[in-house]
Amino acid sequence: MAYDAQTVRRLVARGKHWDKVFVIIGLLSLMVGVLTLAVLLAGLIHDGAGRLNLDFFSNFPSRRAERAGILSALVGSSLVMLVTALAAIPLGIAAGVYLEEYARKNWLTEIIEINVTNLAGVPSIIYGLLALGLFVYAFDFGQSILSAGLTLALLILPVIIVATREAIRAIPGTIREGAYALGATRWQTVRDHVVPYSTGGILTGVIIGLARAIGETAPVITIGALTFIAFLPEAPVGGEFPFISFEWLSSPFTVMPIQMFNWLSRPQAAFQENAAAAGMVLVVLTLLMNALAIWLRLRYRKRIKW
Amino acid sequence: MEMSANELAGQKTGVELSALKAEARNLNFYYGDMQALKGVSLPVAERRVTALIGPSGCGKSTFLRCFNRMHDLYDGSRYEGEIVFQPDGVNILERSVDPIEVRMRIGMVFQKPNPFPKSIFENVAYGLRVRGERSRRVMAEKVEAALRDASLWDEVSDRLDDMAFNLSGGQQQRLCIARALATEPELMLFDEPTSALDPIATANIEELIHRLKDKVTILIVTHNMQQAARVSDYTAFMYLGELVEFGDTNLIFTNPKSKQTEDYITGRYG
* Maximum distance among all Cα pairs of chain A, rounded to whole angstroms: 93
- Exposed e or buried b per residue across A102-125, where buried means at least 16 C-beta atoms within 10 angstroms of its C-beta: eeeeeeeeeeebeebeebeeeebe
Nearest residue, CB atoms, A181 vs list B75, B107, B165: B107
Contact B70 A174 (CB under 8 A): no
pLDDT band, very low/low/confident/very high, at A269 (cuts 50, 70, 90): confident
A199 touches chain B (CB under 8 A): no
Question: DSSP 3-state assignment of A96?
Answer: helix
* ipTM surpasses cut 0.95: no
In angstroms, the separation between the Cα of residue B133 and the nearest Cα of chain A is 13
- The CA distances from residue A92 to A124, A288, A293, B100, in Å, are 18, 23, 17, 28
DSSP A237: B
In angstroms, the separation between the Cα of residue A196 and the nearest Cα of chain B is 10
pLDDT band, very low/low/confident/very high, at A189 (cuts 50, 70, 90): very high
Work out the average pLDDT over A192-201: 92
Q: What global pTM score does this model have?
A: 0.82
Distance CA B107, CA B176 (A): 10
Nearest residue, CB atoms, B110 vs list A174, A183, A192: A174
Work out the average pLDDT over A60-73: 81
In angstroms, the separation between the Cα of residue A106 and the nearest Cα of chain B is 10
Dihedral pair phi/psi, residue B83, rounded to 5°: -125, 110
Work out the average pLDDT over A167-189: 94
What residues in B contact A299, CB-CB < 8 Å? none
What residues in B contact A172, CB-CB < 8 Å? 114
- What pLDDT is stored for residue B12 in this prediction? 46
Question: DSSP 3-state assignment of B242?
Answer: strand
pLDDT tens across A39-52, in order?
988 988 888 888 88
Nearest residue, CB atoms, A182 vs list B75, B103, B163: B103
Please name the residue ranges forming H helices in A215-253: 218-222
Distance CA B110, CA B113 (A): 6
Residue of B nearest to A185 (CA): B100
Work out the average pLDDT over A130-139: 89
| End-to-end CA gap in chain B | 21
Contact B114 A172 (CB under 8 A): yes
pLDDT, tens digit only, all 270 positions of chain B: 334 344 444 444 556 666 889 999 999 999 999 999 999 999 999 999 999 999 988 999 999 999 999 999 988 899 999 999 988 889 999 999 999 999 999 999 999 999 999 999 999 999 999 999 989 999 999 999 999 999 999 999 999 999 999 999 999 999 999 999 999 999 999 999 999 889 999 999 999 999 999 989 999 999 888 899 999 999 999 999 999 999 999 999 998 898 889 988 888 765
Contact A177 B70 (CB under 8 A): yes
A110 touches chain B (CB under 8 A): no
Torsion of CA B91, B92, B97, B101, to 10 degrees: 140
pLDDT tens across B51-93, in order?
999 998 899 999 999 999 999 998 889 999 999 998 888 999 9
What residues in A contact B178, CB-CB < 8 Å? none
Contact A182 B163 (CB under 8 A): no
What residues in B contact A167, CB-CB < 8 Å? none
Contact A174 B114 (CB under 8 A): yes
Residues whose CB falls within 8 Å of the CB of residue B75, separated by 6 or more in sequence, listed in order: A104, A105
Contact B180 A182 (CB under 8 A): yes
In angstroms, the separation between the Cα of residue A96 and the nearest Cα of chain B is 18
Give yes or no for a contact between A69 and A55, defined as CB atoms under 8 angstroms apart. Answer: yes
Polymer length in residues for chain B: 270
In angstroms, the separation between the Cα of residue B129 and the nearest Cα of chain A is 9
Residues whose CB falls within 8 Å of the CB of residue A66, separated by 6 or more in sequence, listed in order: A270
A147-151: long-range contacts, CB 8 A cutoff, minimum separation 24: A147/A223, A148/A80, A148/A83, A148/A220, A148/A223, A148/A225, A148/A253, A148/A255, A149/A79, A149/A80, A149/A81, A149/A82, A149/A83, A149/A84, A149/A86, A149/A87, A150/A83, A150/A84, A150/A87, A151/A127, A151/A219, A151/A220, A151/A223
- Exposed e or buried b per residue across B174-211, where buried means at least 16 C-beta atoms within 10 angstroms of its C-beta: bbbbbbbbbbbbbbbbbbbbbebbeeebbebbbebbee
In angstroms, the separation between the Cα of residue B15 and the nearest Cα of chain A is 31
The percentage of chain A sitting over the pLDDT mark of 90, rounded to a whole number, equals 36
Dihedral pair phi/psi, residue B158, rounded to 5°: -95, 5
What residues in B contact A108, CB-CB < 8 Å? none
Interface of A with B in 161-180 (CB under 8 A): 172, 174-180
Question: In whole numbers, what is the pLDDT of chain A averaged over residues?
Answer: 87
Cis peptide before A172 (omega within 30 of 0): no
Contact A181 B129 (CB under 8 A): no
A184 touches chain B (CB under 8 A): yes
Residue of B nearest to A304 (CA): B117
Polymer length in residues for chain A: 306
Type and span of the H or E element at B7:
helix B5-8
| End-to-end CA gap in chain A | 46
In angstroms, the separation between the Cα of residue A187 and the nearest Cα of chain B is 11
- The CA distances from residue A142 to A35, A85, A145, B49, B186, in Å, are 43, 20, 9, 71, 63
Nearest residue, CB atoms, A178 vs list B101, B116, B129: B116
